[in-house]
Amino acid sequence: MQTAVSALSGKNVVVIGGTSGIGLATAIAASQLGAKVWAAGRSAEHMDKARAAAKAAEANTVQFVQLDTHDEAGMKALFSSIGTIDHLVSAATGGTRTLKPFIEQTQEQFEAAFGKLWGYAKVARTGAPFVARDGSITFVSGAPARRFKPNMSALSAVGGAVENMVRSLAVELSPVRVNVVAPGIIDTALFDWMGAEKNDRVAAMTAGQLVRRIGRPEEVASALIYLMQNGYATGTTVDVDGGQLLS
Protein backbone atom coordinates (compact mmCIF):
# COMPACT_ATOMS: atom_id res chain seq x y z
CA MET A 1 0.00 0.00 0.00
CA GLN A 2 2.85 2.39 0.74
CA THR A 3 4.14 2.10 -2.84
CA ALA A 4 0.71 2.94 -4.26
CA VAL A 5 0.32 5.94 -1.96
CA SER A 6 3.74 7.36 -2.83
CA ALA A 7 3.06 7.03 -6.57
CA LEU A 8 0.21 9.57 -6.52
CA SER A 9 1.00 11.51 -3.37
CA GLY A 10 1.27 15.21 -4.16
CA LYS A 11 0.41 14.72 -7.84
CA ASN A 12 -2.07 16.89 -9.73
CA VAL A 13 -4.88 14.79 -11.20
CA VAL A 14 -7.70 16.14 -13.38
CA VAL A 15 -10.79 14.03 -14.10
CA ILE A 16 -13.16 15.32 -16.78
CA GLY A 17 -16.54 13.68 -16.22
CA GLY A 18 -15.50 13.34 -12.59
CA THR A 19 -18.77 14.12 -10.83
CA SER A 20 -20.55 10.79 -11.27
CA GLY A 21 -20.01 7.10 -11.96
CA ILE A 22 -16.55 5.94 -13.02
CA GLY A 23 -15.11 9.45 -13.08
CA LEU A 24 -16.21 10.23 -9.53
CA ALA A 25 -14.90 6.88 -8.27
CA THR A 26 -11.56 7.68 -9.91
CA ALA A 27 -11.40 11.17 -8.39
CA ILE A 28 -12.11 9.78 -4.93
CA ALA A 29 -9.57 6.96 -5.29
CA ALA A 30 -6.84 9.36 -6.47
CA SER A 31 -7.55 11.69 -3.56
CA GLN A 32 -7.38 8.80 -1.09
CA LEU A 33 -3.94 7.96 -2.52
CA GLY A 34 -2.67 11.45 -1.79
CA ALA A 35 -3.28 13.28 -5.07
CA LYS A 36 -4.68 16.78 -5.43
CA VAL A 37 -7.71 16.29 -7.68
CA TRP A 38 -9.87 18.51 -9.86
CA ALA A 39 -13.12 16.76 -10.86
CA ALA A 40 -15.09 18.46 -13.63
CA GLY A 41 -18.66 17.78 -14.73
CA ARG A 42 -21.47 19.64 -16.46
CA SER A 43 -24.43 18.70 -14.22
CA ALA A 44 -25.17 20.83 -11.16
CA GLU A 45 -27.25 17.97 -9.76
CA HIS A 46 -24.32 15.56 -10.06
CA MET A 47 -22.03 18.17 -8.49
CA ASP A 48 -23.96 18.26 -5.22
CA LYS A 49 -24.11 14.47 -4.99
CA ALA A 50 -20.41 14.22 -5.84
CA ARG A 51 -19.42 16.60 -3.05
CA ALA A 52 -21.43 14.53 -0.58
CA ALA A 53 -19.86 11.28 -1.81
CA ALA A 54 -16.33 12.70 -1.60
CA LYS A 55 -16.96 13.98 1.91
CA ALA A 56 -18.31 10.60 3.02
CA ALA A 57 -15.22 8.89 1.55
CA GLU A 58 -12.92 11.43 3.25
CA ALA A 59 -11.54 12.40 -0.16
CA ASN A 60 -10.70 15.85 1.08
CA THR A 61 -8.41 16.97 -1.74
CA VAL A 62 -11.03 16.90 -4.49
CA GLN A 63 -12.13 20.22 -5.96
CA PHE A 64 -15.29 20.12 -8.07
CA VAL A 65 -15.64 22.30 -11.17
CA GLN A 66 -18.70 22.71 -13.41
CA LEU A 67 -17.39 22.20 -16.94
CA ASP A 68 -18.38 20.42 -20.15
CA THR A 69 -15.97 18.22 -22.10
CA HIS A 70 -16.77 20.24 -25.24
CA ASP A 71 -15.90 23.57 -23.57
CA GLU A 72 -12.34 24.05 -24.83
CA ALA A 73 -12.02 27.58 -23.42
CA GLY A 74 -13.24 26.43 -20.01
CA MET A 75 -10.84 23.49 -19.98
CA LYS A 76 -7.91 25.70 -20.99
CA ALA A 77 -8.74 28.10 -18.17
CA LEU A 78 -8.87 25.24 -15.67
CA PHE A 79 -5.64 23.65 -16.91
CA SER A 80 -3.87 27.03 -16.89
CA SER A 81 -4.92 27.65 -13.29
CA ILE A 82 -3.46 24.30 -12.25
CA GLY A 83 -0.19 24.66 -14.16
CA THR A 84 1.36 21.21 -14.48
CA ILE A 85 -1.00 18.23 -14.67
CA ASP A 86 0.49 14.86 -13.76
CA HIS A 87 -2.47 12.74 -14.83
CA LEU A 88 -5.41 13.75 -17.02
CA VAL A 89 -8.44 11.46 -17.22
CA SER A 90 -11.60 11.83 -19.26
CA ALA A 91 -14.56 9.61 -18.43
CA ALA A 92 -17.17 11.99 -19.83
CA THR A 93 -19.86 10.48 -22.04
CA GLY A 94 -19.83 13.54 -24.28
CA GLY A 95 -22.48 12.25 -26.69
CA THR A 96 -26.00 10.85 -26.99
CA ARG A 97 -26.37 7.07 -27.31
CA THR A 98 -29.03 5.55 -29.53
CA LEU A 99 -29.55 1.82 -28.98
CA LYS A 100 -31.48 0.54 -31.99
CA PRO A 101 -30.74 -1.24 -35.28
CA PHE A 102 -28.35 0.67 -37.53
CA ILE A 103 -30.87 0.83 -40.39
CA GLU A 104 -33.47 2.38 -38.09
CA GLN A 105 -31.16 5.12 -36.82
CA THR A 106 -31.10 8.52 -38.44
CA GLN A 107 -27.76 9.90 -39.56
CA GLU A 108 -28.10 12.53 -36.82
CA GLN A 109 -28.56 9.86 -34.14
CA PHE A 110 -25.53 7.90 -35.33
CA GLU A 111 -23.39 11.03 -35.50
CA ALA A 112 -24.49 12.15 -32.02
CA ALA A 113 -22.75 9.17 -30.44
CA PHE A 114 -19.44 10.50 -31.76
CA GLY A 115 -19.73 13.45 -29.40
CA LYS A 116 -17.73 11.23 -27.03
CA LEU A 117 -14.82 11.01 -29.50
CA TRP A 118 -14.89 14.74 -30.25
CA GLY A 119 -14.94 15.50 -26.53
CA TYR A 120 -11.95 13.25 -25.89
CA ALA A 121 -10.09 14.85 -28.80
CA LYS A 122 -10.70 18.28 -27.27
CA VAL A 123 -9.48 17.09 -23.86
CA ALA A 124 -6.29 15.69 -25.39
CA ARG A 125 -5.59 18.67 -27.66
CA THR A 126 -6.27 21.23 -24.93
CA GLY A 127 -4.70 19.30 -22.08
CA ALA A 128 -1.55 17.80 -23.62
CA PRO A 129 0.53 21.00 -23.37
CA PHE A 130 -0.08 21.03 -19.59
CA VAL A 131 0.70 17.34 -18.92
CA ALA A 132 4.09 16.57 -17.36
CA ARG A 133 6.54 14.67 -19.58
CA ASP A 134 6.35 11.70 -17.21
CA GLY A 135 2.58 12.05 -16.87
CA SER A 136 -0.40 10.37 -18.52
CA ILE A 137 -3.69 10.87 -20.32
CA THR A 138 -6.31 8.16 -19.93
CA PHE A 139 -9.72 7.72 -21.55
CA VAL A 140 -12.66 5.34 -21.12
CA SER A 141 -14.14 3.39 -24.05
CA GLY A 142 -16.23 0.25 -23.52
CA ALA A 143 -16.59 -3.44 -24.30
CA PRO A 144 -18.77 -2.75 -27.40
CA ALA A 145 -15.61 -1.51 -29.14
CA ARG A 146 -14.64 -5.17 -29.62
CA ARG A 147 -17.75 -7.09 -28.49
CA PHE A 148 -20.37 -6.63 -31.19
CA LYS A 149 -24.04 -7.00 -30.37
CA PRO A 150 -27.23 -5.97 -32.19
CA ASN A 151 -28.38 -2.38 -31.71
CA MET A 152 -24.94 -1.18 -30.60
CA SER A 153 -23.40 -0.14 -33.90
CA ALA A 154 -22.88 3.48 -32.82
CA LEU A 155 -21.33 2.50 -29.48
CA SER A 156 -19.06 -0.02 -31.18
CA ALA A 157 -17.93 2.45 -33.84
CA VAL A 158 -17.21 5.18 -31.30
CA GLY A 159 -15.44 2.82 -28.90
CA GLY A 160 -13.24 1.50 -31.68
CA ALA A 161 -12.41 5.05 -32.76
CA VAL A 162 -11.48 6.03 -29.20
CA GLU A 163 -9.16 3.04 -28.82
CA ASN A 164 -7.47 3.74 -32.16
CA MET A 165 -7.07 7.42 -31.27
CA VAL A 166 -5.39 6.40 -28.01
CA ARG A 167 -2.81 4.31 -29.85
CA SER A 168 -2.14 7.14 -32.30
CA LEU A 169 -1.77 9.69 -29.51
CA ALA A 170 0.55 7.39 -27.56
CA VAL A 171 2.92 7.62 -30.53
CA GLU A 172 2.48 11.34 -31.18
CA LEU A 173 2.52 12.59 -27.58
CA SER A 174 5.36 10.40 -26.27
CA PRO A 175 6.89 10.55 -23.67
CA VAL A 176 3.47 11.42 -22.22
CA ARG A 177 1.68 8.10 -21.81
CA VAL A 178 -1.80 7.66 -23.33
CA ASN A 179 -4.05 4.71 -22.42
CA VAL A 180 -7.68 3.64 -22.30
CA VAL A 181 -9.86 1.52 -20.01
CA ALA A 182 -12.71 -0.49 -21.56
CA PRO A 183 -15.46 -1.28 -19.03
CA GLY A 184 -18.28 -3.74 -19.43
CA ILE A 185 -21.69 -3.31 -17.78
CA ILE A 186 -21.09 -0.98 -14.84
CA ASP A 187 -23.56 0.17 -12.18
CA THR A 188 -23.85 3.87 -12.98
CA ALA A 189 -26.67 6.38 -13.43
CA LEU A 190 -27.07 5.15 -17.03
CA PHE A 191 -29.27 2.36 -15.68
CA ASP A 192 -31.42 4.47 -13.35
CA TRP A 193 -34.16 4.75 -15.98
CA MET A 194 -34.97 1.08 -15.40
CA GLY A 195 -36.47 1.90 -12.01
CA ALA A 196 -37.85 -1.08 -10.06
CA GLU A 197 -36.96 -3.43 -12.93
CA LYS A 198 -33.25 -2.62 -12.74
CA ASN A 199 -32.11 -5.68 -10.77
CA ASP A 200 -33.95 -8.14 -13.01
CA ARG A 201 -32.85 -6.42 -16.22
CA VAL A 202 -29.22 -6.23 -15.12
CA ALA A 203 -29.25 -9.89 -14.06
CA ALA A 204 -30.45 -10.84 -17.54
CA MET A 205 -27.82 -8.63 -19.19
CA THR A 206 -24.94 -10.16 -17.23
CA ALA A 207 -26.13 -13.78 -17.12
CA GLY A 208 -23.86 -14.80 -20.01
CA GLN A 209 -20.72 -13.19 -18.63
CA LEU A 210 -17.92 -15.10 -16.92
CA VAL A 211 -18.46 -12.88 -13.88
CA ARG A 212 -22.22 -12.97 -13.55
CA ARG A 213 -22.93 -9.59 -12.00
CA ILE A 214 -22.77 -5.92 -12.82
CA GLY A 215 -19.46 -4.17 -12.27
CA ARG A 216 -18.86 -1.37 -9.79
CA PRO A 217 -17.45 2.05 -10.71
CA GLU A 218 -14.68 1.50 -8.15
CA GLU A 219 -13.53 -1.59 -10.06
CA VAL A 220 -13.05 0.46 -13.21
CA ALA A 221 -11.46 3.28 -11.24
CA SER A 222 -8.80 0.86 -9.98
CA ALA A 223 -7.74 0.26 -13.60
CA LEU A 224 -7.52 4.00 -14.25
CA ILE A 225 -5.40 4.40 -11.11
CA TYR A 226 -3.17 1.53 -12.28
CA LEU A 227 -2.54 3.27 -15.61
CA MET A 228 -1.64 6.50 -13.81
CA GLN A 229 0.88 4.69 -11.61
CA ASN A 230 2.45 2.33 -14.14
CA GLY A 231 5.07 4.39 -15.92
CA TYR A 232 5.73 1.64 -18.48
CA ALA A 233 2.17 1.34 -19.84
CA THR A 234 1.24 3.36 -22.93
CA GLY A 235 -0.98 2.76 -25.96
CA THR A 236 -2.69 0.13 -23.83
CA THR A 237 -6.34 -0.92 -23.53
CA VAL A 238 -7.23 -2.40 -20.13
CA ASP A 239 -10.47 -4.42 -20.10
CA VAL A 240 -12.62 -4.43 -16.96
CA ASP A 241 -15.68 -6.23 -18.30
CA GLY A 242 -16.40 -9.32 -16.23
CA GLY A 243 -15.13 -11.49 -19.08
CA GLN A 244 -17.67 -10.08 -21.54
CA LEU A 245 -15.21 -10.26 -24.45
CA LEU A 246 -14.85 -14.02 -23.92
CA SER A 247 -18.51 -14.88 -23.45
The partner residues of 177 in beta bridges, in order of sequence, read 136
Q: Which of 141, 156, 174, 222 is catalytic?
A: 141
Q: Is 141 a catalytic residue?
A: yes
CATH fold of 2-239, please? Rossmann fold (3.40.50)
Per-residue pLDDT of the chain (247 residues; tens, 9 = 90+): 344 445 899 999 999 999 999 999 999 999 999 999 999 999 888 899 999 999 999 999 999 999 999 999 999 999 999 999 999 999 998 788 888 999 999 999 999 999 999 999 999 999 999 999 999 999 999 999 999 989 999 999 999 999 999 999 999 999 999 999 999 999 887 777 677 778 888 888 898 899 999 999 999 999 999 999 999 999 999 999 999 999 8
The angle that helices 217-229 and 21-32 make with each other, rounded to 10 degrees, is: 50
